[in-house]
Amino acid sequence: MVRFNVPMRSRRMADGFAVAFLDEAAALRAGGIRNPILLLEGAFDDTELQLASDLGLWLVVHQDEQIKMIARSRARRAACTCGSRSIRGCTAPVSRSRTPRRRTSA
């Protein structure tokens, strides 16, 4: 694990930070940095995208596949009914039963 010692003065003066790798961003968050962090390499799979989301990182996008991955994760989150923030989608059990029809009065 990478460790950073960022002086308090730098934390206050910097609008944000940019790092090349996800482990560097995680180390800054673990060290108490709350400023925006730009991840220059972006995310390359759903696990990295979830961690970047959990850490509140800004991502650079290099490839069309990264755009598609982000779009898929947004669609899964939009369809979520359990309140989970997971990019992997809803963790609520899926009901396979049909919605009961309304009774109409005769």
Domain positions in the chain: 8-65+73-78
* pLDDT higher than threshold 80 for residue 91: no
Give 7-54 pLDDT, tens digit per residue.
666 566 789 999 999 999 999 999 889 999 999 999 999 999 999 999
* pLDDT higher than threshold 90 for residue 1: no
Q: Give the tokens for residue 58.
A: 């800004």
Nearest to 90 by CA among 105, 75, 102, 68: 75
**Overall pTM surpassing 0.75 (yes/no):** no
Q: What integer pLDDT is reported at residue 75 of this predicted model?
A: 81
Which runs of E-coded beta strand occur in 1-106?
A: 17-19, 37-39, 58-59
Nearest to 56 by CA among 87, 25, 86, 94: 25
